[in-house]
Chains A and B, each alone.
Chain A
Amino acid sequence: MRLSRDFRGTLVIAVCGLAFTLFAPEVLEFFTIITLSQVIGLAILALSLALVWGFGGILCFGQTAFFGLGAYAYAVTATNIGGSTGAILMAILVAAAFAAILGYFIFYGRVSDVYLAIITLTVALILYSLTRRTSGPEYKIGNALLGGFNGTAAPPLNLPGDAGTVLFPEDTFYVAMIALILAYVFCCWLVRTHFGRVCIAIRENETRAELLAYDIRLYKLGIFIIGAALAGLGGVFFCVGVSRVTPDVFSLSQAAVAIIWVIVGGRGTLIGPILATFALHYLTASLGSQALLNANLVLGTVLIVFVLLVPKGVVPSIIDLADIRRQRRVARSRERRLRLRRTRNGNETAGVGK
């Protein structure tokens, strides 16, 4: 198997990420570092969708449901217990548990395709409506007032076991970056395990996977829950970066941009959607700092041009380009081999098809 070569790429990317983590605070401005934590949270969301959709073949339009639940679970838990470590675990747990229930409902009901997309989106929209409804004083979990439309404050991260020591923004950036890198390496590892390969096989052909005695419902549920847990983790860093969580995390546009990061980055890759998140966020933010053009006008044009010119997404297109060059090389060497064999066959006059 080609495991080792594939994984080398992963490690190279991880090392690049680590290098960025170490040098970014030296090179970038302080406010950029502070801002990056929230973008990293979004990147983890994109990664989770890249896993669930790109590898599991599950078009989860409402991946933001888990992202938002993670963010809310973190904010509420951290406000109540005063520390962030338990709250992070809680966020992951809540997102995963919710996905387990929803996934059971969906996959064991054999809902798939665009119908699945709409169910998950609808779930996110229900959470959007419900959280926006919580502006009354009666919506209080422990000490945390949910705050409806205005949302609720998300406490900063602190040292594990020492709730009094709040992390500096640089440290939060380090923690978020390392979480992103670990999540990325984890996903790369996961898709190469037996479990991951079966998920890919299911994406390719459900019937065949079933006939090979794999319970596809279980595998889909599994990757769905893992994706949700990751999205929940992303929600934590996002709300810590923003210092607040509002119902907007469940909105239609948030759900749509998550899908768009994956399309732009390329389905079937894990690094593509992460890079796309950073790039598109940078674009959006730049548009907000200028007064010449309407932000939507530019963003819309970029997306349209993109889908027409780079339909497969950035990373797969780059891989394709590299592949074409490699194939030319391979073709040349194969031709040489064939020529060799033909001369040998000519000598032996052996049977062909056998």
Chain B
Amino acid sequence: MDLVVSLALQILYGIANLALISLGLAIIFGMMRVINLAHGEFLMLGGYTVVIATNNGVNIWIAMLVLAPLVVGVIGVVVERLLIRWLYGRMIDTLLATWGLSLLIIGLVTSIFGASTATTISPPLGVITIGSYTSSGYEMFLIVVTVLLLVAVYATLKLTTLGLVARGTMQNAEMSSALGVSTSRIYMITFGLGAAVTGLAGGLLAPITGILPTIGAVYIAKAFITVISGGMAILAGTATASALLGGVNGIVAFLTGPTLGEVALLVTAIILLRLMPRGITGTLFRKSL
């Protein structure tokens, strides 16, 4: 029984983890049709921000919750102004540009900080004991944060002008650009917001993952597959796809081993896209956000 509860929490964390690393990408892809191959590097930058800040004496909570999204969000805005805004409507070209960007970021970080940077942070919040099992308190905290983050994005989409445009774009991209909604500024904010959410995710994962300039490559494929499997709706898509893929991965990984867990995740994604060729929200929950 303890095992079941403990394992359920673990799988829930796996799902939250997947949603966390995918959400920023979903915002940028869902609203702007930009394929951001530098997404993994945005996560890495979030982590680096936390490591560098804490090494310089900043409180870890401030580093994670404030600095990481702020720094990566600003980087996102700069990237959008200098690079992405020339490429709207050219989805394939964004592929090349953001791949270049990802190499550039890795190169820059390596040149500045070296191949690895020593860290002193460890996960705050201690340990939760369930019978004879223990779980990380910080991982439980991350589940809560992920839920809150989803709610915050939901509120933004539902209640603000940005959200209105976003929903318009999701339903009919050509139409809203044809209506001449001041897309330029909205896009800049959206990209910055997506980058900030990604930076926050990277920052939050910093205490429980290894942080190296090249670590982004580990996340990018999984985040992509999650977002595309989810379909066009940013929130419902990310949430349902994370739940399905993360759940399958966690269960199979526990029953067999991590390799088959990864393979099961990928196979599920393929079968899913075969059955629902437009992603989950292309078939179900079509009206959701």
Contacts and interface: CB of A to CB of B under 8 A. Distances in A.
Chains A and B touch (C-beta atoms under 8 A apart): yes
Given A112-B277, A300-B104, A304-B101, A252 B221 contact: yes
B228 A129 contact: no
A308 B86 contact: yes
A301 interface: yes
Contacts of A304: 83, 97, 100-101, 104
Contacts of B110: 294, 296-297
Contacts of A125: 221, 266
B100 A302 contact: yes
Most buried by A among B93, B104, B217, B262: B104
B38 to A, nearest CB: 9
Contacts of B263: 126, 129-130
Contact of A263 (B35, B96, B106): B96
Contacts of A252: 217, 220-221
Given A294-B110, A300-B102, A307-B96, A115 B277 contact: yes
Contacts of A294: 107, 110-111
A102 B218 CA distance: 26
Nearest to B218: A252
Contacts, number: 121
Interface in A114-129: 114-115, 118-119, 121-123, 125-126, 129
A253 interface: yes
A109 B277 contact: yes
A97 interface: no
A111 B101 contact: no
Contacts of B278: 115
A129 B259 CA distance: 7
A260 interface: yes
B279 interface: yes
Interface stretch (B58-66, B136-144, B267-275): B267-275
A34 B88 CA distance: 43
Nearest to A311: B93
B183 to A, nearest CB: 19
A256 interface: yes
A307 B97 contact: yes
Interface string B197-222: 00000000000000000000100110
A339 B102 CA distance: 56
Contacts of A105: 274
B42 interface: no
Nearest to A130: B263
Q: Is the interface of A mostly helix, strand, loop or mixed?
A: helix
Nearest to B213: A296
Contacts of A300: 100-107
B266 A299 contact: no
Given A129-B266, A307-B96, A296 B104 contact: yes
B271 to A, nearest CB: 10
Given A115-B278, A130-B263, A298 B93 contact: no
A296 B109 CA distance: 10
Question: In the complex, which range does the number of interface residues on chain A fall in?
Answer: 35 or more
A125 B103 CA distance: 20
B109 to A, nearest CB: 9
A110 interface: yes
Contact of B224 (A111, A112, A118, A126): A118
Interface string B167-185: 0000000000000000000
A276 B203 CA distance: 38
A221 B270 CA distance: 18
A349 to B, nearest CB: 45
A307 B100 contact: yes
B95 A297 contact: no
Nearest to B104: A300
A268 to B, nearest CB: 12
Contact of B225 (A118, A132, A306, A307): A118
B155 interface: no
A256 B94 CA distance: 12
Interface string A71-112: 000000000000000000000000000000000011001111
B37 interface: yes
A303 interface: yes
A59 B267 CA distance: 20
Interface string A266-301: 010000000000000000000000000111111111
A40 interface: no
Contact of B277 (A111, A122, A253, A303): A111
A44 interface: no
A311 B278 CA distance: 28
A303 B100 contact: yes
A105 B267 CA distance: 13
Contacts of B220: 252
16 contacts: A105-B274, A114-B91, A114-B228, A115-B273, A115-B279, A126-B266, A129-B263, A132-B259, A252-B217, A252-B221, A260-B96, A300-B103, A303-B96, A303-B100, A307-B97, A307-B100
Interface of A: 59, 105-106, 109-112, 114-115, 118-119, 121-123, 125-126, 129-130, 132-133, 252-253, 256, 259-260, 263-264, 267, 293-304, 306-308, 311
6 A-B pairs closest in CB distance: A303-B100, A297-B107, A300-B104, A300-B103, A296-B107, A304-B100
Given A111-B274, A121-B225, A125-B266, 5 more contacts: A122-B266, A125-B221, A263-B95, A294-B110, A303-B99
